Each structure stands twice: as C-alpha cells, then as structure tokens.
Amino acid sequence: MQALMQADVQVRQNRTMKRRSFLEVGGLGLLANSTTLLQAKVAAIAFPKNARERLAVASYPFREFIQYPGAKPRQDGKARMPLTDFPSMVVQRFNVHNTEPLSEHFVSREPRYLKELRDAHKKAGARIVNIPFSPAGSFGDSDDAKRRAAVDDARQWVDAAVMLGSPSVRAHIEGIHGTEPDVERSVASLKALAAYGRQKQVVVNLENDDPKSEKAEFITRIIERVASPWLHALPDFCNSMLVGDSEYNDRSLRAMFRHAYNISHVKDSEVDGGKVYRVDVAHIFKIAKSSGYRGFFSMEWEGEADPYTGTQQLIEQSLGSLEG
C-alpha cells in the first residue's frame, strides 16, 4: 500500500513538472496572484539583440506619399508610392528591415493583395513586425451587434497578419460620442479577440493613442482584466503628453511598458492643434530598459520636419540609446 501511495505521489509530481515545463517553454509566464497575469510572455517571437535590427519604420508618417484608397493627389503633383514599394524604400533609405504598415494604407485584405505585399517585403529583405488597424466599430459599443461586428472585423486583421507573417496587430479602441469609455464591454470584446489571437498565434496590442478613448490607465485596466498573454500594451513615447504633462507621460509609459511585449512607437514630439509637445527620447528608452522590454521600436515620426528627415533623426536617437 505504501509503495502504491509513493508511486501515486511520484506520478502527480511528474505531471506537475511537465505542466510547469510546458508553461515555461510556451512563454506563458506565471500568475503573480490568483487574478492578475503580469508580464506574460509569448514565446513565438525571437527578438534580435542587435540595436538596428530592433528598429522598424511605420507607414503612418508617410501618409502624404503613399497611395491608398481615398488618398488625394499630392500637392506637388508627383505620383504616390504604392504600399508594396514601402519596404524597399525603408531598406534603401534608412537601412532598416522591419516595417509597420497601417491598415488604412492597404488596398484590400484579399489574399492576392496580401501575397503581393508579403512578396514585396521578401524581395526587399524586410518583414512586417506589427499592423495597426481600426476595426469597423467600437469594442465598447453598447449595441451588442455593433460590438460583435467590431470583433469580427478585427479577427480579419488577425487573419491578414497570419498571411503576412506579422507577429502582432494593434487594435484601436474607437470612442463613442457622448459617453465615457466602457471597461466591461471593452474587456469582453478584447477577451474574445485575444482568444482568437492565441488560436492564430498573433499578439494583439493596445496603444495609448486616442486621448479620450485610449488613455494609458484605461488600456492597462483592460489588459489586467483580460489577463491573457496574447493581449499586450503598445507604449507610444509622446501620445500621453496630449492629456498631461511630462510627469504624467512618464507614469503612463511606465505602466504601459510593464505590459508591453513586442512593439513600441518612438516619437520625439507630437503636433496637435498647432501646439508642439516634446519628450526626452533617451529618458523614455531608459524607462523601456528598466521594465525589461526586449521588443521592437517602430519609428512613428510626428514632428515638424518632413517624415524622411524626421524618421532618420529618430533612428539616430534610438541607436544612440540602444547602443549606449
């Protein structure tokens, strides 16, 4: 009898060890307590250690130069470049091999076009590291049908990420006019989207972007409530300046980087309503480093110079901070 009991204990111990190994290999992390999943890691992304290889260039700053549905003719009369030319431009102009194409710059989500875009990156020696998108609707809408439609549309961007080989997407939380952002409804929607991301092995990121519907404290509440290793934060260096001072921006970024995994937006300034907001890029890189962040830094210039000059400046500042 004693031998049988000892054997049973050994079997249970082996099961526990196998489960622990599975969690560690899978990168899912451990629960800090019974309700909150902190710093959960997804093991699917192999982050480079070389500073330049951690950089990416976003298409958003180049919106005046890219051809996309609904784009107006350029004021200088020159032709706009198709998004399929963007990866080669980034490689040749900036010697950066990671891109972050905005969903609005896609011609379509049809497989034929996505293959064309994927092939353009492969030919240029580049890869997509994140796709920012805005779903058709809001994750926090009080109308159940509209909220489900937003989640369904978001799932299609996850599918697009799979076809393009992107490890993640950034989901925008659209505000609802006349109402405060709703945590409960947003949590329910993003829990469903994170589950789909897990199924497809695509990380879903939330950004401190819209000053009304995506404040850092709101984003981090959602992430902590969903508690999924497939839902993370995307810290933007300057966006929180639009709703607070530099101390508030620092607090927001510390909170965001605690929940960040694979992508962050680098800016040295932001122009809003004619006012210029500036941040200390080197200081924010220190915040990222102290949080243990190992992911990519995407250049999303929003300053006063032209995007080519501004992006090059951000690259130089980023390399100085990462290599210093």
DSSP symbol at 50: S
163 in the same domain as 297: yes
167 in the same domain as 297: yes
222 in the same domain as 304: yes
What is the pLDDT, as a whole number, of residue 305? 83
DSSP symbol at 103: G
What is the pLDDT, as a whole number, of residue 24? 31
181 in the same domain as 66: yes
Is the pLDDT at 307 greater than 80? The verdict is: yes
Decide if 252 contacts 208 (C-beta within 8 A). Answer: yes
* 8-35: average pLDDT: 35
* 243-249: average pLDDT: 96
In the chain, the percentage of residues whose pLDDT exceeds 90 is 80
What is the pLDDT, as a whole number, of residue 42? 64
What is the pLDDT, as a whole number, of residue 303? 85
Residue 225 pLDDT grade (very low, low, confident, very high; cuts 50, 70, 90): very high
Residue 216 pLDDT grade (very low, low, confident, very high; cuts 50, 70, 90): very high
Predicted confidence (pLDDT) per residue in 47-71, tens digit: 999 999 999 999 999 999 999 999 9
205 in the same domain as 84: yes
CATH code of residue 203: 3.20.20.150
Q: Which H/E stretch holds residue 58?
A: strand 55-58
Structural domains of the chain, count:
2
Is the pLDDT at 1 greater than 60? The verdict is: no
126 in the same domain as 2: no
* 97: CB partners within 8 A, 6+ apart: 53, 90, 91, 125, 126, 127
Range from 13-17, 131-135, 156-160, 237-241 carrying the lowest mean pLDDT: 13-17
Query: Which pTM was predicted?
Result: 0.87
* 128-142: average pLDDT: 95
Predicted confidence (pLDDT) per residue in 166-197, tens digit: 999 999 999 887 788 899 999 999 999 999 99
Decide if 227 contacts 199 (C-beta within 8 A). Answer: no
> Coil, strand or helix: which one is 269?
strand
CA separation for the pair 252, 73 (Å, rounded): 38
Closest CA to 225 of 188, 200, 192: 188
> What is the domain extent for residue 276?
33-323
Residue 8 pLDDT grade (very low, low, confident, very high; cuts 50, 70, 90): very low
23 in the same domain as 41: no
Is the pLDDT at 6 greater than 50? The verdict is: no
Residue 12 pLDDT grade (very low, low, confident, very high; cuts 50, 70, 90): very low
Residue 33 pLDDT grade (very low, low, confident, very high; cuts 50, 70, 90): very low
| Average model confidence (pLDDT) across the chain | 88
103 in the same domain as 17: no
Decide if 258 contacts 218 (C-beta within 8 A). Answer: no
**86 or 7, greater pLDDT:** 86
Is the pLDDT at 292 greater than 50? The verdict is: yes
181 in the same domain as 145: yes
188 in the same domain as 87: yes
* 74-87: average pLDDT: 96
Backbone angles phi, psi at 288, to 5 degrees: -60, -45
92 in the same domain as 187: yes
114 in the same domain as 151: yes
* 138-166: average pLDDT: 96
CA separation for the pair 215, 244 (Å, rounded): 10
In the chain, the percentage of residues whose pLDDT exceeds 70 is 86
What is the pLDDT, as a whole number, of residue 45? 82
